[in-house]
């Protein structure tokens, strides 16, 4: 099979790219499930964009940097926040049905760590679904292949030229293109509490690492404060917009949890709120969202309400039990402003990419925006450069080692140990214990192993094992606390770590000083082509 562009994944970044690519290009989308299964589709919270008269891109920029604890790439943040209004107005003009107020204007909501009301929503708390459903109507020219898992990137003469793909029945195909794009999302499923879709098992991150691409900032994992808790599990998200409407975090005795946290209190940055809830839970409390002051809750938050009803949570009590869980990976496959990775022909967009926008902790509702923004940028880049791209001539992929003989870990044990040892609060001791655990299942050997004969289930497990190992290694290396990365043994931010990125690549890990402030459209670092 041959095309011009192969996109792996089908969330908002993937579909925005597909929509924006030239109709002259043959575009193939491989998705391991269906177009309606992705983190984007589940996204309740909206899209951050400075649209109101009192707001501007500069305020959005500052809120993004503050939440990211200044680990962000400032130039990239400046460009994204500046260009966001045009990008969103384009979607509005094309007919994407965002929520409007009684005057017919786009409604703007508030979320954590935003200094202005600037969150647009669709379907109340179904923004991801609203945008994905809309984008799907715009990609009739694209070949979409559902239930197809990409398990290997084909690298020939240091260039990515194709992918190996497995269907549900185990049959395999190889597909080739000039441009291969990873848009597979994050790695939420490596944790026992997560808001991520079941399919989010770190595939793209593992594929890229195995192929030799650079990954960066893998220690920065965001834990959302309010997953709905039922029967000891996180069963879905209670959007931050619920706190934006006035809900408060309280313990079982009614003690208000965020009293001392000025100025934002319940709407403090996510890592702050998650860490506070985690502390209360460790002390044996139960933590609730008190929604008693919100009128018309079911109408305003239909998705949250239906999750509660499905799990027997009585909304009339005015309380929803909550627990923090993995929500977003700020790190990922290292890219430049055009979404190019360090391997020619390979690109990454969306949560799988580390563009530097989110720094150490993502600001609420910046992820759908980032997907739209980099989907758009990459489409421009490919549309402009496609004619000059040389078609791959040699399609021989390199030989891999025999798979390790050891069994893969029990998946629930992998998730619970990651939660406990590489989760919200980390220590050297726990991280070392987790590394030993992961090594005992041959995590480093799986990086180089041949995956040809593995079932889809085994492939998911191998990708999760590799991602767990990468996150744990990076978390051990960063001896400070910053944003989503809390080290109990190094509880403060350390100026010596500011803007230093931990880069992981198959040939070795290194720490890189990366204060990068390129002009718009230029390449981020001299090491890129």
DSSP, res 265: G
Of the pair 299, 529, the CB lying nearest ligand SIN is at: 299
The least CB distance from residue 222 to ligand SIN, in Å, is 8
SS3 call for 352 = helix
Is residue 99 at the binding interface for ligand SIN, with CB under 6 A as the rule? Answer: no
Near ligand SIN by CB under 6 A: residue from 11, 45, 392, 409: 45
270 is annotated as an active-site residue: yes
Angstrom distance (rounded) from CA 264 to CA 357: 22
CB 469 within 8 A of CB 479: no
Please count the CA atoms within 13 angstroms of the CA of 91 that sit on its side-chain side.
32
Applying the rule CB under 6 A, the residues between 314 and 353 that interact with ligand SIN are: 327
Sign of the torsion formed by the C-alpha atoms of 422, 426, 428 and 430: negative
Q: Which of 41, 43, 21 is nearest to 31 (CA)?
A: 41
Give Cα separations from 83 to 77, 153, 447 (angstroms). Answer: 10, 33, 38
Near ligand SIN by CB under 6 A: residue from 4, 40, 44, 189: 44
Catalytic residue among 69, 159, 243, 270: 270
The least CB distance from residue 409 to ligand SIN, in Å, is 29
Of the pair 43, 142, the CB lying nearest ligand SIN is at: 43
Near ligand SIN by CB under 6 A: residue from 192, 365, 472, 481: 365
Is residue 364 at the binding interface for ligand SIN, with CB under 6 A as the rule? Answer: yes
Of the pair 212, 331, the CB lying nearest ligand SIN is at: 331
Angstrom distance (rounded) from CA 31 to CA 40: 13
Give Cα separations from 472 to 63, 220, 276, 440 (angstroms). Answer: 28, 10, 22, 14
Of the pair 121, 159, the CB lying nearest ligand SIN is at: 121
Please count the CA atoms within 13 angstroms of the CA of 285 that sit on its side-chain side.
20
Q: Which residues pair with 163 in a beta bridge?
A: 153, 175
The least CB distance from residue 368 to ligand SIN, in Å, is 7
DSSP, res 342: S
Of the pair 135, 408, the CB lying nearest ligand SIN is at: 135
Sequence-distant (6+) residues with CB within 8 A of 340 are 346, 347, 381, 523, 528, 529
The least CB distance from residue 505 to ligand SIN, in Å, is 29
The least CB distance from residue 502 to ligand SIN, in Å, is 24
- Mark 236-265 with x for binding to ligand SIN (rule: CB under 6 A) and - for no binding: -x-xxx------------------------
Point out which span in 235-243, 286-294, 392-400, 401-409 binds ligand SIN (CB under 6 A). Answer: 235-243
H or E stretch at 60: helix 57-67
Of the pair 42, 451, the CB lying nearest ligand SIN is at: 42
The least CB distance from residue 200 to ligand SIN, in Å, is 13
Give Cα separations from 88 to 46, 81, 91 (angstroms). Answer: 12, 11, 5
- Mark 278-317 with x for binding to ligand SIN (rule: CB under 6 A) and - for no binding: ----------------------------------------
For residues 363-393, one letter each, b for 16 or more C-beta atoms within 10 angstroms of the residue's C-beta and e for the rest, the string is bbbbbbbbbbbbbbbbbebbeeebeeeeebe
The least CB distance from residue 389 to ligand SIN, in Å, is 35
Retrieve residue 180's tokens. Answer: 């291969």
Point out which span in 100-108, 233-241, 331-339, 386-394 binds ligand SIN (CB under 6 A). Answer: 233-241
Is residue 38 at the binding interface for ligand SIN, with CB under 6 A as the rule? Answer: no
Give Cα separations from 359 to 24, 231, 514 (angstroms). Answer: 36, 34, 12
Point out which span in 55-63, 210-218, 360-368, 443-451 binds ligand SIN (CB under 6 A). Answer: 360-368
Of the pair 46, 212, the CB lying nearest ligand SIN is at: 46
Of the pair 271, 327, the CB lying nearest ligand SIN is at: 327
| Interface residue list for ligand SIN (CB under 6 A) | 44-45, 237, 239-241, 327, 364-365, 367
User: Catalytic amino acids?
Assistant: 270
């Amino acid at each position: 099979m041959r095309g011009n562009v192969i996109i792996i994944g089908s969330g908002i970044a993937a579909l925005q790219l597909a929509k924006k690519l030239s109709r002259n290009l043959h575009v193939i989308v491989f998705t391991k499930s269906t177009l309606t299964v992705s983190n984007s589709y589940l996204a309740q919270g909206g899209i951050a964009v400075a649209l109101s008269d009192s707001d501007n891109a500069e305020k959005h920029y500052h809120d993004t940097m503050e939440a990211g604890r200044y680990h962000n790439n400032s130039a990239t943040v400046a460009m994204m926040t500046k260009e966001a209004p045009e990008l969103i107005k384009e979607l509005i003009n094309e007919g994407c049905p965002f929520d409007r107020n009684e005057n017919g204007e786009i409604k703007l909501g508030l979320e954590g760590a935003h200094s202005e009301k600037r969150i647009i929503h669709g379907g109340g708390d179904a923004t991801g679904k609203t945008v994905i459903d809309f984008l799907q109507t715009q990609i009739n020219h694209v070949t979409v292949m559902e239930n197809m898992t990409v398990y290997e990137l084909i690298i020939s003469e240091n260039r990515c030229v194709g992918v190996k793909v497995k269907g549900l029945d185990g049959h395999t195909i190889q597909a080739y293109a000039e441009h291969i794009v990873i848009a597979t999302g994050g790695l939420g499923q490596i944790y026992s509490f997560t808001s991520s879709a079941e399919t989010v098992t770190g595939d793209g991150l593992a594929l890229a690492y195995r192929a030799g691409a650079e990954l960066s900032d893998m220690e920065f994992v965001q834990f959302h404060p309010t997953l709905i808790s039922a029967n000891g599990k996180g069963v879905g998200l209670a959007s931050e917009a619920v706190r934006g409407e006035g809900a408060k975090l309280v313990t079982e005795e009614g003690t208000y949890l965020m009293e001392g946290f000025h100025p934002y209190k319940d709407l403090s940055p996510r890592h702050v709120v998650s860490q506070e809830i985690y502390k209360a839970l460790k002390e044996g409390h139960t933590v609730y969202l008190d929604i008693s002051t919100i009128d018309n809750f079911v109408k305003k938050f239909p998705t949250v309400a239906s999750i509660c009803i499905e799990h027997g949570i009585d909304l009339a009590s005015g309380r929803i039990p909550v627990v923090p869980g993995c929500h977003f990976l700020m790190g990922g496959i290292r890219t430049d402003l055009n979404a190019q990775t360090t391997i020619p022909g390979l690109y990454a967009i969306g949560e799988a990419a580390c563009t530097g926008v989110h720094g150490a902790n993502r600001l609420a509702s910046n992820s759908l925006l980032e997907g739209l923004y980099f989907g758009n940028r990459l489409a421009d880049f490919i549309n402009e450069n496609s004619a000059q791209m040389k078609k791959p001539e040699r399609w021989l992929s390199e030989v891999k080692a025999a798979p390790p003989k050891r069994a893969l870990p029990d998946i629930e044990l992998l998730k619970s140990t990651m939660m406990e040892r590489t989760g919200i609060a980390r220590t050297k001791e726990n991280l070392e214990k987790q590394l030993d655990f992961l090594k005992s299942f041959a995590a480093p050997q799986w990086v180089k192993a041949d995956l040809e004969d593995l079932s889809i289930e085994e492939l998911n497990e191998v990708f999760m094992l590799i991602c767990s190992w990468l996150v744990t290694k990076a978390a051990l290396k960063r001896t400070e606390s910053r944003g989503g990365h809390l080290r109990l043994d190094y509880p403060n931010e350390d100026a010596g770590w500011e803007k230093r990125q931990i880069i992981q690549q198959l040939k070795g890990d290194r720490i890189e000083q990366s204060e990068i402030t390129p002009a718009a459209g230029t390449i981020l670092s001299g090491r890129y082509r």
